[in-house]
Structure 1
Amino acid sequence: MFLNRSHVPEESTRQTLYGIMSDDELSLEDKQTEALALGREFLGVQNGHIERADEAAGTHEVVASVGGPATLFPSGETLNRATTYCRRTMDADSPVALADAPEEGWAEDPAYEEHGLACYLGAPIFVRGESYGTVCFIDETAREDSFTASEKAFVELIARLLGRELAATRYETDLTDAHKRRSTLVEAAPDAIFIVDTETAEITDVNEAATSLTGYDGADLEGMTVFELHPTTGRDQYHHLFENLATTGDTTSTLPDGSQLELQTADGDRIPIEMSASAVELSDGRYIQGMRTGTGPRAGAIRAQSTACQCRRLGVRLSDRRALLDRRGPPHPRRGCGVHAHRRGRPLVLPSGGPATD
C-alpha cells in the first residue's frame, strides 16, 4: 500500500537537506543515507536508493538504500542495466517521473516487467561533469496524482548535492594519492632533500638520503634549524644564500663571497656540497624545499653507504657485492650500516639505477 505523503513544508525540507550535506561530522555514507531517508519521507514512497552505473559492463550497483521491503534494491545489489528505469533517466540527463507506469505506457518496459514498480522518480548524478548514476525513489503501488514540479526539483537538488559530495571525496582521495606519490618520489631521490619552514628555518621533513649525508637520524633533523647543518662561520652568508636560492631556484656550490659551500655532519666533518632550493606553498604555510648534493670524496663514500643500506632492505646480500663493498671499521653510531665503497683505494660512487663507476 502506498505510504502517506509527508506534509512537511518544502522550504523546511530543503534546509534540512542542506544541513545534512554540510555537516562535517557525517561521512559520505551517512549523508547518502540521511538524504535518501529525507527524500523518501518527503515523497511518501517505499524506497530511496542510489545506483552507480557501469555502462561498459551493462550493470548498476546499488551503493546506498533506505526503506523496504528488504528485497527491494538492497545496498550492494547489482542490477542489469537493461531492466532499470535509471537507464532512461541517465539517457535523458533529467528527472524521469512515473506516477503509474502501466497507465503511462510503460507496462512493457523491461524495468516494469522485471521489478513491477508502478511509481518512480529519479534524477541523474554527475560528478565533475561526468555521469555517475542516479538517485531514485520508488514504490510498488501506483501514485494517485503526478509528481509536482517542486517534488522533481527536490530530487534534482538531492542528486546535485550528492554529486558535489562525491566530487569532494574524490578530490580528497586524489590529493592523498598525490601526496603519497610525492612522498615516495622524495624518499627515493638519491639527493638529500630538506623541507624547511620559511618563518622559523626549522626542518620539518627529510628523506633518507638526507640522514645518510648528515649522519643525523630523521627525528633529530626534524626540529633543527637548517643553519645548524652549516659551519658557524659565515652564517650571514648562508641566510642570504637561502633567500636567493628560494627565489631563483638556482643551483650553487659557493657562498656569495665565492667560498665553498659546506655541510657540517653529526660527527663534525665538513662536506663540500651543491645546493638548490625552491619555495613551496602548502595549506599550512610557506616552505622551502632544499636539495643538497655532496661533491667530494667523503660525500661519495656516504652516497655509496646509503646505496648499500638500500640493498640490504631490498634483500640483496652485501656479501654478493664484495667486489665493490669493503667494510671500513665500526659504523658510526648514528650513521646506519656503516658500509663504504672503495676500488683501488679510491672512494667508489654507486649511482642510483646504474653500474658502479670510478
Structure 2
Amino acid sequence: MISNQILQNTIEGLKSISRIDFCVLDVEGKLLASTLEETSNYESAVTAFVASPAESQVLQGCQFFKIFDEQQMEYVLLASGETEDVYMIGKLAAFQIQNLLVAYKERFDKDNFIKNLLLDNLLLVDIYNRAKKLHIDTEVRRVIFIIETIHEKDNAALDNVRTLLGNKTKDFVTAVDEKNIIVVKEVSEKDTYKELEKVSKDMYDILRNATEEQLHIAYGTIVGDIKEVSKSYKEAKLALDVGKIFFNEKNIIAYSTLGIGRLIYQLPIPLCKMFIKEIFEGKSPDEFDEETLTTINKFFENSLNVSETSRQLYIHRNTLVYRLDKLQKSTGLDLRVFEDAITFKIALMVVKYMKYMESLEY
C-alpha cells in the first residue's frame, strides 16, 4: 500500500536524525528500501524471523522488528547494530512505519469512498454512514474540478497534484480513468463562481509549469451536501466534453458558462440533420468561403453591429451590407434580424457538434 519511495524517504529521514542505518523488507525477504551501502542477503534470516513468535530479534548484527497491518504482517524492519540504543531507535522507526500504514490505509478507504460517490455507486444511507466512519463532513459546500491530461497518468501524477494543491485534508484528489484527475474541493460560504475561476487559473498555471503538457480543466456547480457531489462531477464532465466542441480555444471551462452548447450537445444526431436540412435545404452553413465565414463570425462577435464589424474587418460599411445581402439571398436568413441571426448561430453550432461526433466514430 505504501510505495517503496515513501519507505525510502522515511528511513532516510530516520537515519539523518538517529545516524542508524535501516532496511525494510517484505515477509519473503525481498528488499524494499535501505540506507545500507551494502545489503547482505537477509532472505533466510527474515524467513526464520517471520516464522518465529518473537516481535523483535537480533540476527546477523541487526535488530529485526515485525510491522503489522492490523493482524497481517506487512514488513520486516532491520536496524543496523545490536545495542540497546539501536533497539530503542528501531522500535520508534517500526512505530513510525506502522502509523504510515494506518494513514495510507485510511486514505485508500477515503479514496474508494470518493470514487464510488462520484460514480453514483452508493446507496443514500451508505453515503452518510461511510462518511461518518471516515470523518468526512456531509454538509459543506464542495465543487468538482476535472483536470484532463494528454498522456496517461500514474500514481505519481496524483501525488504531484496533491502536493501542488497544498495537501489540504478537506480536499480529495482521485481518478476514475486513465487521463482525468479529479479534485473534490471544499469551498467556503462566501466563495462565488468568480473565486472558482481564479482557483482554476491558479491550478492551471501551477500544473502547466510543473508538467509542461497540455491541460484542460473543467468544473461543475457548487453543491451543499455530500450526496450531490456526483451531480457536480457529471456537470464538470459535461463541461469538459462540450468545451472541446464549442470552446476549443479555452483551457478552462465552467459548466455554468456552457450556454446553448449544453443543449445542443444533448440532441440526437438525426434531429440535428433534420434541422440543417429544413433550414438550409440540404446545404451546410459551414460550406461558405473563408471570407463569408470570417464576416459572419465577426458580425456575431460584435452583437450584429454593422458599423463596428466593418471597422474591424477594414471594409466599407456598404461592402459589409452587400455581403449580408448576398448571404440572405443564398440562405433566406438576414443576419441583421435577431431571429434569423439566432437561427444561423445555432445552425453553425449544430454542424460543429455533428462533425465532432462523426470524428469520434473514426
TM-score, normalisation: structure 1: 0.33
Report the structure number with the largest CA radius of gyration: 1
Higher helix share: 2
Higher strand share: 1
